[in-house]
A and B are shown apart, each in its own frame.
Chain A
């Protein structure tokens, strides 16, 4: 059973048209991450939440925003997508306790920009 669920799997949007990607989890993990991955490159961390605390990476463009309304859901908003934002977007979760736990990835959303 999928534990980190991303919707949709494929998203097509127009240049400059806002788009929202969603992620949900059934693991009750307290940390959720959003990554951008381009053509077999390593996943690039955009931001992450530890519970409700938001942590933005220094080089994440202002065009990217995130919301985490509750433990189970996290959203990635791209306010004005450009051609360079076409990529796979991966959501991951982990349980940050006393002992480091692995990150569990969703299947990703592949975003195309027309």
Chain B
């Protein structure tokens, strides 16, 4: 079955710097890749997603890139702010009736003021 590896597990950056989180997936049939942000004690919130028919998607300070050949995708956050501090999860989904997601292990991002 599908497996998603996420790195790094923790990431500390200075406010204003960029942060990059990388994920690799195993099933080449995967065609949907969302990223979730989860603050302490809160629900995961979708921040950006990408489908396999595009290579890059951007939304203000957040961008995601997808390399289908290498089976990896990355989250890029520019001009980081302290409120970006949270746990970030990547996920992958294969075509199916139910949209089941396979999550990466999570990255704890700390943005230091």
Contact = CB atoms under 8 A, between A and B. Distances in A.
**A interacts with B:** yes
Interface of A: 31, 33, 40-43, 45, 48, 50, 53, 55, 90, 94, 96, 99-108
Give the size category of B's interface with A.
20 to 34
B63 to A, nearest CB: 17
Contacts of A33: 100
B97 interface: yes
Given A90-B44, A100-B31, A42 B103 contact: yes
Chain A's interface: helix, strand, loop or mixed, by majority? Answer: loop
B99 interface: yes
A45 B43 CA distance: 15
B98 A100 contact: no
Contacts of A102: 34, 46, 49
Given A48-B100, A100-B32, A102-B34, 13 more contacts: A41-B105, A42-B103, A43-B89, A45-B100, A90-B44, A96-B98, A99-B51, A100-B31, A100-B95, A102-B49, A105-B44, A105-B45, A107-B43
Given A105-B43, A107-B42, A42 B104 contact: yes
B35 to A, nearest CB: 10
Contacts of B46: 102-104
Q: Which 8 A-B pairs have the closest CB atoms?
A: A42-B103, A100-B32, A105-B43, A50-B98, A102-B46, A94-B99, A107-B43, A105-B44
A45 B100 CA distance: 8
A36 to B, nearest CB: 12
B101 interface: yes
B24 interface: no
Interface in B1-36: 31-32, 34, 36
Given A40-B106, A42-B106, A103 B101 contact: yes
